[in-house]
């Protein structure tokens, strides 16, 4: 199902999964203004759907619905919350074919990557089924006689999730699964490029049995996003905000939340370094780097941006990497032979092209790629490798969010660490070496919240996810830490008579 006048037909197995209205208090509704906006397929630059353009004036109804629902949902036992999340998880897996189709047309990623995202996303629902029943209080021996000290954990209340377009199902579920497991309710604002996937999840949550108002979705345009997001952040009933996106926007949201001293989780920009020493297994490093860099056309916060290669293996590694990169097939995500799709937004193509031109001006050499791809009027760019990279290039300072990587030579470990850490960001870093002592030093000395050690993408439901420096704070996923982002700790002190 899609819009009747669209040349694109989704041909979903379950047409009812296609939802193109906002979801508030268990109802599918339009914006108060009645306005709608178009959803564009990045692989063809064609409209295939539209959604209500919710605005700041639509926020209060959603938050009030979530608050009313919280008064009931907070009383559900951990076992009931776990059972609901398990049903949600089962429905997501049951509808993975249709969800993957929606993902391809919203984001542009190849079908195989769309399936990969759904499997990754469902790992969070599965993980937090268990976390729901692992929330525990504590007891402490008191210094004063006759006293007992103990704590309990309770859900925060209404939460707001501001979600990006690059992994729209995974990012919704990584946030919502933790919130729902804790007993919180949520108002989610998906990116303007990818609202349909979030609305499909709302339909499945309803089907799983979540009461009305527990999970709400407000689609909106880029123009209305700042005001709607500010209204969510400043609403007195919203007790926590979780955001994945740019550092610039993260700082703005922090200011909005500061007035109400709201709990905040920020997962922000990356510009991640990838360090290859001369004793590394080069095939292993290349096979980790290529999917890490070119998955979803390089549009991931933890993707490698700056690749530092020890001088003795620089040329060999560059040639091996280029050989493997040239095997990537660029095309529309629905083509089963495609291994890299378009960028999701046209500005991403422009930024990638600008960084390539900047690198050329500063003496960089294009080893492979470097050009826009004229295909179906979509937003395509070749997978690109630049050699002879220097710190003067924009790619050394700016997160690319495109299929471009630069190879920087280095001579020794101290130089590599200094260069890798020379950024305001600190989300993830990667290191490849067979020297265990060096590996451990790099783990301790690289300034990032997550370090891949002879590993590429290390994100997993069981592992804490989050950065340091200007890449944000707070953790998503992992045991205890993620669900604690949605809980308060309440301390009780009891004085006894007639007891030591």
User: Catalytic positions, please?
Assistant: 267, 301
CB-based contacts of 319, cutoff 8 Å, min separation 6: none
473: left (phi over 0), alpha (psi -120 to 50) or beta: beta
d(CA 351, CA 310): 28
Longest dimension (CA), the chain: 84
d(CA 106, CA 40): 7
In this structure, the number of other CB atoms found within 10 A of the CB of residue 494 comes to 10
268-293 CB burial, b ≥16 within 10 A, e <16: bbbbbbbbbbeebebeebbebbbebb
Phi, psi of 217, deg, nearest 5: -130, 125
């Amino acid at each position: 199902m899609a819009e009747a006048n669209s040349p694109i037909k989704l041909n979903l197995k379950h047409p009812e999964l296609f939802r193109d209205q906002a979801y508030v208090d268990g109802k599918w509704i339009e914006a108060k203004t009645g306005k709608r906006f178009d959803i564009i397929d990045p692989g063809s630059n064609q409209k295939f759907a539209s959604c209500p353009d919710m605005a700041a004036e639509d926020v209060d109804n959603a938050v009030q619905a979530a608050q009313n629902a919280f008064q009931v949902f907070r009383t559900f036992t951990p076992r009931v919350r776990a059972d609901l999340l398990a049903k949600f998880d089962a429905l997501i897996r049951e509808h993975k074919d249709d969800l993957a189709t929606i993902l391809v047309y919203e984001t542009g990623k190849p079908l195989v990557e769309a399936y990969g995202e759904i499997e990754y996303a469902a790992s969070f629902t599965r993980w937090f089924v268990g976390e729901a029943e692992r929330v525990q209080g504590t007891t402490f021996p008191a210094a004063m006689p006759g006293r007992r000290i103990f704590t309990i954990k309770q859900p925060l209340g209404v939460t707001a999730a501001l979600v990006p377009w690059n992994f729209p199902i995974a990012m919704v579920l990584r946030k919502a699964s933790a919130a729902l497991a804790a007993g919180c309710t949520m108002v989610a604002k998906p990116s303007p490029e990818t609202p349909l996937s979030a609305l499909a999840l709302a339909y499945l949550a309803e089907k799983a049995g979540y009461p009305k108002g527990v999970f709400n979705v407000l689609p909106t345009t880029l123009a209305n996003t700042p005001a709607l997001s500010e209204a969510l952040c400043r609403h007195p009933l919203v007790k926590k905000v979780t955001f994945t996106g740019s550092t610039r926007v993260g700082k703005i949201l922090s200011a909005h939340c500061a007035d109400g001293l709201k709990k905040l989780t920020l997962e922000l920009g990356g510009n991640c370094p990838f360090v290859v020493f001369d004793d590394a297994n080069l095939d292993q490093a290349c096979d980790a780097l290529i999917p890490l860099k070119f998955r979803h056309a390089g549009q991931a916060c933890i993707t490698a941006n700056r690749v530092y290669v020890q001088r003795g293996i620089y040329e060999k590694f560059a040639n091996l990497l280029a050989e493997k990169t040239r095997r990537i097939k660029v095309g529309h995500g629905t083509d089963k032979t495609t291994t890299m799709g378009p960028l999701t937004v046209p500005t991403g193509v422009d930024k990638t092209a600008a960084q390539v031109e900047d690198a050329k001006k500063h003496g960089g050499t294009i080893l492979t790629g470097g050009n826009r791809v004229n295909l179906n009027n979509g937003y395509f760019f070749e997978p690109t490798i630049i050699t002879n990279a220097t710190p003067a290039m924009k790619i050394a300072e700016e997160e690319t969010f495109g299929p471009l990587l630069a190879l920087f030579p280095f001579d020794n470990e101290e130089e590599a660490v200094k260069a890798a850490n020379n950024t305001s960001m600190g989300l993830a870093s990667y290191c490849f070496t067979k020297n265990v002592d060096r590996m451990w030093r790099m783990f301790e000395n690289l300034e990032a919240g997550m370090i891949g050690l002879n590993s590429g993408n290390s994100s997993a439901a069981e592992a804490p996810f989050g950065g340091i420096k200007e890449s944000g704070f707070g953790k998503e996923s992992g045991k205890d830490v993620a669900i604690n982002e949605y809980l308060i700790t309440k301390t009780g002190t009891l004085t006894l008579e007639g007891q030591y």
